[in-house]
Structure 1
């Protein structure tokens, strides 16, 4: 094969907001698959907030990307060459090729996709990791009950939008929090009962109006000022699935002001709150098949809608990634790498 493998690698660890010089763009020979492996051509690359943590060397639930390595990321790819009978050239698969145009992956890590069932991009969004995060986190940890109130921030993103729509399907009142009038209007289109702009002057007051009887489930994926506004509205026995803290991902120091940990712990104690952090992989074995069945049907019949924000060109991944962390995306953020 004469074509080269376009890659984006980690040049240095970002301090604060990632900068262009933290990334290396280069070309390398297309790799050859070994026994049990498949050569893939990347079609779409997923950009997700959790990846910011993996550019750091801080201890976390997943190993950091080493300086010099290709940056990690979920992908939808076309099979080019295979050493296993389960996959044949031309098939479309979901894998983890990362920020590169070709990859070799173990066949055991790939999920075969059927383009006739749903657009292949959904395997990186509503029918992939983000959608599953919403499904498992809300239903397994949040455990919403009919008539309760569920709130979620970053509500137009792939996780938050699914959380709100699933909450409606369970008979709950759904409150979505997003940034800007355009995103607020989209939440209304999705059927959220209340759509709040966190950039407004009085989010606390808006939450009090939207949830006069308090909030029973708050799906946390942002933190920061939104969490500060939500905490006083949580009811006794409220559940808080915590899947992300995007507001803090580029922070280089602790926030200024008094230590509010004692006030938080007092609320946890006095209201019997459940704060449960989770990584979606812990539910894969027990729940992923149910997710594919349920979410696949909901998407097919239009009960769950989704939006994708697609940028063309692998070289645009760093700038798009930084913009996503700053809330400039609108829906599931994808890079189209090839046709």
Structure 2
């Protein structure tokens, strides 16, 4: 394979919650890997809500300027250093790191790449979305068979896995979404009670149909939806907060109300934060959950949904991030190279 002398990547050069203003498309030289490094030609990159926070300098991990964008990708190894073992040119790998995604080529230490059977959007969607859902529900949320699980943004790239994994675990699943089409998609994954929040009031649905409350909440929207979920936790209920996309583009909401312990203490309920980045120091847990996810995928028990809107090339990642922020997507948003 003849490699180019240059390639394109997307880099944040100033902090802004307007992703388009934060980033620049750059053309840089392509250097060959040495030592333990491998050079990967990316095929697909995943789009995540946190991209906006990375570009704003407000992510959970530092993003000092200039900062390359995109945090997950799959591709093919096209060159290796002389100290690389266990991987070869032609192997397909998955990478998770700030800066690995929105670029045509990526160089990294071979130990930071995970070999995969094929570089497909479906396998890539497991890396952040699948792992987040699996670890958050089973480890952080301590989900058990027979419980009622509420998933917000249930038709999104992460919510889709939470719905399916909760059903596979023997739970009753409620999922929120923004259209009847997405509600139909949730039903196809086994969701017991899709709630289109544009035509139904979630608070009323929970009060009438689930009067004892919900045992586990998988929550990534924030704002008023977070408040509703807290109010409807069951005794010993656990709310897992993974993000708050409603506040990503604006300043944090100023909340004037009773403190949260008034709502939790009597029910012995809890709010549990989840940050996948903290599990990179626990490779055994990551490996266990990734192997389980790939096994479910191969068995036909897990059905990743890839949003049909196509984005091609590094520059299109800007449009893809804005599309995700608009809430129009169903399933994982992908940038293709």
TM above 0.5, yes or no, is yes
Q: Structure 1 unaligned segments of length 5 or more: list them.
A: none
Deviation, structure 1 residue 77: 1.6
TM-score by length of 2: 0.90
Deviation, structure 1 residue 263: 4.3
Deviation, structure 1 residue 193: 0.4
- Residue 266 (str. 1) matches residue 265 (str. 2): no
Partner of 1:75: 73
Kept after mapping to 2: 8 A contact 1:33/1:82: yes
Partner of 1:7: 9
Kept after mapping to 2: 8 A contact 1:311/1:336: yes
- Residue 279 (str. 1) matches residue 275 (str. 2): yes
Partner of 1:165: 164
1:302-321 CA deviation, whole Å, 9 max, x = no partner?
A: 22212012422221101110
Deviation, structure 1 residue 201: 4.7
1:112-160 CA deviation, whole Å, 9 max, x = no partner?
A: 1112xxx6323321x3221011011101122222222100101011221
1:207-286 correspondence to structure 2 within 5 Å: 207-255=206-254, 259-260=256-257, 262-283=258-279, 284-286=282-284
SS at match of 1:308: coil
Once the two structures are overlaid, the 10-residue window that deviates more, 175-184 or 264-273, is 264-273
- Residue 147 (str. 1) matches residue 146 (str. 2): yes
Q: Structure 2 unaligned segments of length 5 or more: list them.
A: none
- Residue 113 (str. 1) matches residue 110 (str. 2): no
Deviation, structure 1 residue 22: 2.4
In structure 1, distance between residues paired with 2:51 and 2:65 = 14
Instruction: Decide whether aligned partners of structure 1 residues 132 and 179 sit closer, same or farther in structure 2, where only a CA change above 3 A counts.
Output: same
Deviation, structure 1 residue 105: 0.8
Partner of 2:177: 178
Kept after mapping to 1: 8 A contact 2:222/2:247: yes
Kept after mapping to 2: 8 A contact 1:122/1:128: no
Q: Would you identify which runs of 4 or more consecutive aligned residues in structure 1 move more than 6 Å?
A: none
**Quick one: which of 299, 308, 315 aligns to 2:306?**
308
Q: Aligned Cα RMSD in Å? A: 1.9
In structure 1, distance between residues paired with 2:67 and 2:274 = 27
Deviation, structure 1 residue 214: 1.3
In structure 2, distance between residues paired with 1:89 and 1:286 = 27
Kept after mapping to 1: 8 A contact 2:153/2:220: yes
SS at match of 1:137: helix
In structure 2, distance between residues paired with 1:263 and 1:296 = 42
SS at match of 1:158: coil
In structure 1, distance between residues paired with 2:285 and 2:66 = 36
Deviation, structure 1 residue 248: 1.3
Partner of 2:333: 333
Kept after mapping to 2: 8 A contact 1:198/1:226: no
Deviation, structure 1 residue 191: 0.8
Partner of 2:86: 86
Partner of 1:29: 29
Instruction: Decide whether aligned partners of structure 1 residues 218 and 87 sit closer, same or farther in structure 2, where only a CA change above 3 A counts.
Output: same
In structure 1, distance between residues paired with 2:21 and 2:275 = 30
SS at match of 2:315: helix
In structure 2, distance between residues paired with 1:299 and 1:278 = 24
In structure 1, distance between residues paired with 2:56 and 2:160 = 28
TM-score by length of 1: 0.90
Kept after mapping to 1: 8 A contact 2:80/2:89: yes
Kept after mapping to 1: 8 A contact 2:221/2:243: yes
In structure 2, distance between residues paired with 1:230 and 1:263 = 15
Kept after mapping to 2: 8 A contact 1:152/1:177: yes
SS at match of 1:332: coil
Instruction: Decide whether aligned partners of structure 1 residues 164 and 253 sit closer, same or farther in structure 2, where only a CA change above 3 A counts.
Output: closer
